Amino acid sequence: MNREKRREIFERLRANNPNPTTELNYRTPFELLIAVILSAQATDVGVNKATGPLFERHNTPESLLALGEEGLKDYIKTIGLYNSKAKNIIKTCEQLLERHEGRVPDNRADLEALPGVGRKTANVVLNTAFGQPTMAVDTHIFRVANRTGLARGKTVLEVEKKLLRYIPEEFLQDAHHWLILHGRYVCTARSPKCGDCIICDLCEYKHKTAECP
């Protein structure tokens, strides 16, 4: 895919949704961090149902640490892998208090040192909470990047690096959100909605449906 096509794709995505953001509910960087940890192999809708009651009472490292692992499980037991997630979250709260004065760090190294925080989670927090132009490649973005020809790669890291290199700088801050929303609602894994796609004519997908303009 050439530079002009890539620019046009993001021009259209921006025109369609000028202020994209995460669908996870949060008010502080700490709430976002916890929500993203919980979102692994879970839906944003499911996470929001759990974090709504949780954050009303426990939305600081101190409060969650006082709640304890078993208490936390009562709030998040509807979410997959809740046992390991509860354990990681409590350990993360401990480290935030011991090493960062209770604040969420704004750099990759410190974020990835927290239990339950990998590269993708760190990228989401850096981008959404701190406004850094990172690219958190999940299954949706991986699919969209490969299917459209925007940035093909065999691994998540390869796709991430290509997207950061290929996407024009002015779009980098919001590109993560545009691509994940496009993959979640339009360029779906099964039966992509090509007829509803605003970038269909720019897409290099070999199996576009007849409804594609």
Element (H, E) at 201: none
Choose the catalytic residue: 74, 138, 161, 206: 138
Tell me which residue has tokens 């490649």.
137
Q: Are 9 and 199 in contact (CB under 8 A)?
A: yes
Residue 96, CB-side half-sphere exposure with 13 Å CA sphere: 26
As to burial, measured by CB atoms within 10 angstroms (0-12 exposed, 13-18 middle, 19+ buried), residue 165 is exposed
- Is residue 161 annotated as part of the catalytic site, yes or no? no
Alpha-carbon span 148 to 162, nearest angstrom: 14
φ/ψ of 110, rounded to 5, equals: -70, -35
Of 37, 28, 32, nearest to 121 (Cα)? 37
Q: Which two tokens stand for residue 200?
A: 């269909």
- Is residue 120 annotated as part of the catalytic site, yes or no? yes
As to burial, measured by CB atoms within 10 angstroms (0-12 exposed, 13-18 middle, 19+ buried), residue 206 is exposed
Of 72, 76, 50, nearest to 63 (Cα)? 72
Alpha-carbon span 138 to 182, nearest angstrom: 12
Choose the catalytic residue: 44, 120, 201, 208: 120
Residues annotated as catalytic are 120, 138
